[in-house]
Amino acid sequence: MPAAVATREPKPDQPPKRRLRYRGVMLQSPAVPSRTPLAKIQKAVEAAVAKNAESLAGSK
């Protein structure tokens, strides 16, 4: 499996997407649509981070 990477610009006719930042880097959304609703993914990640907040804090 080649992991080929490319920068990508949104098409002008698409609504602007929410852009997330990580350690000063502007993240780009994946190139293909998700099969799981994005709201469900976001909720699952938020819940996992909240559940593990104590162990994440200051983890090495």
The residues of the shown chain that bind another protein, judged by CB under 8 A, are 1-8, 20-36, 38, 40-49, 51-53, 55-60
Compute, in degrees rounded to 10, the torsion defined by CA atoms 45, 47, 50, 53. Answer: -50
Cβ at position 43, least distance to another protein in Å: 7
In the numeric block, the tokens 């293909």 are attached to 32
Q: Which two tokens stand for residue 22?
A: 């990580």
Cβ at position 48, least distance to another protein in Å: 4
Q: Closest CB to another protein among 4 and 12?
A: 4
Helix (H, G, I), strand (E, B) or coil at 26: strand
Q: Closest CB to another protein among 14 and 59?
A: 59
